[in-house]
């Protein structure tokens, strides 16, 4: 597995990481712990060294599973986790008060079974707490040795600049994929200017870009995609046009649609590190294989031409969650 560096002074990680949320939260019933541990270790054995979790995933369960899985290889991997919700409950609003950041750091260290958090993200901007206070608190945790690097998630460019002035931000994690390209307008240029790495979550469009989801697909009742406008039956049918194009490009190169979607992200910038998630070993291997897929200038031009003609239908979040991003 090739490696990349997040930010000017950030950690060196595998070119493709593993988003662990779906093992415990968001996409239906949680994966049995033994199976989740096996998948995480299989990822490491195949070259993945960058693992993403959060106190909110479960809540708490995901960190515990990841900590158990990585305990034998802790010094050979980079662990990212997040703070920003009261009691880790996304339904209860936001909480990035300094005292909560410190409490989450200590609790996450215990659950992960480690003495330091490699990358500590603010999960969402809290409008009631100045980002300078957030960055300052993480700066203090870095000085104390509990945290190695500071990250932000779904932050807008103004917040990113303000925080970075207090404590350098190693990475910004936000949604970015062939069907959500808004970061290209302002966020990616800002990251490049400040020397901040970019970590796309949902790089496969929450599964849609794999080609395995159609308008006829039904999700588990606990799957959050049931509440996402972009995943309404009508919008899935309309958005199938993009998937068909990706399928065509993939067929021409003898790879899968998912590998094209991930390779496209890797080709954007050398400091972009996508973190696709999965619960299945064959999908894990497919995603990792994308690191070896080379997209030449003609491939990228073809994709750009197609993207210019396809309009994706539906918002990526329900209204109450949309208010938490881009601040």
Instruction: Give the active site residues.
Output: 57
- 3-state secondary structure (DSSP) of residue 3: strand
- DSSP E strands, the chain: 3-5, 12-14, 18-19, 50-52, 78-83, 117-122, 147-153, 169-175, 197-201
Omega before 59 within 30 of 0, i.e. cis? yes
Which class for 88: exposed (0-12), middle (13-18), buried (19 or more C-beta within 10 A)? buried
Contact 250, 256 (CB under 8 A): yes
CA distance 272 to 324: 23
Secondary-structure percent of the chain, ordered helix, strand, coil, rounded to 5? 50, 15, 40
CA distance 238 to 273: 29
Contact 266, 290 (CB under 8 A): yes
Token pair, residue 79, equals 């662990």
- 3-state secondary structure (DSSP) of residue 185: coil
Tell me the DSSP string of 105-129: HHHHHHHHT-S-EEEEEESS--TTS
Token pair, residue 216, equals 């006829």
Phi and psi, residue 216, nearest 5° = -90, -10
Single out the residue of 56, 257, 287, 294 nearest to residue 153, CA to CA.
Answer: 56
């Amino acid at each position: 597995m090739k490696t990349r560096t997040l930010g000017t002074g950030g950690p060196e990680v595998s070119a493709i990481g593993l988003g662990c949320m779906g093992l415990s939260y968001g996409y239906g019933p949680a994966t049995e712990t033994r199976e989740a541990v096996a998948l995480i270790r299989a990822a490491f054995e195949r070259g993945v060294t960058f693992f993403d979790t959060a106190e909110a995933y479960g809540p708490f369960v995901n960190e515990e599973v990841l900590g158990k899985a990585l305990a034998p290889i802790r010094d050979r991997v980079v662990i990212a986790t997040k703070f920003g919700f009261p009691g880790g409950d996304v339904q209860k609003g936001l909480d990035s008060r300094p005292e909560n950041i410190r409490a989450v750091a200590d609790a996450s260290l215990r659950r992960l079974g480690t003495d330091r958090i490699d990358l500590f993200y603010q999960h969402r901007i809290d409008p009631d707490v100045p980002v300078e206070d957030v960055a300052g608190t993480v700066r203090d945790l870095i000085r104390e040795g509990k945290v190695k690097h500071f990250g932000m998630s779904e932050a807008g460019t103004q917040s990113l600049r303000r925080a970075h002035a207090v404590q350098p931000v190693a990475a910004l994690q936000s949604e970015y994929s062939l069907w959500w390209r808004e970061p290209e307008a302002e966020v990616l240029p800002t990251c490049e200017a400040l020397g901040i790495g970019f970590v796309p979550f949902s790089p496969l469009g929450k599964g849609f870009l794999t080609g395995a989801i159609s308008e006829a697909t039904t999700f588990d009742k606990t799957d959050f995609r049931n509440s996402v406008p972009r995943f309404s039956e009508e919008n899935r049918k309309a958005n199938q046009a993009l998937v068909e194009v990706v399928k065509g490009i993939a067929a021409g190169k003898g790879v899968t649609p998912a590998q094209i979607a991930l390779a496209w992200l890797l080709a954007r910038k050398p400091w972009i590190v996508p973190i696709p998630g999965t619960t299945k070993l064959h999908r894990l291997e497919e995603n990792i294989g994308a690191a070896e897929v080379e997209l030449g200038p003609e491939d990228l031009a073809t994709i750009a031409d197609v993207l210019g003609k396809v309009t994706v239908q539906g918002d990526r979040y329900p209204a109450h969650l949309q208010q938490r991003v881009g601040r």
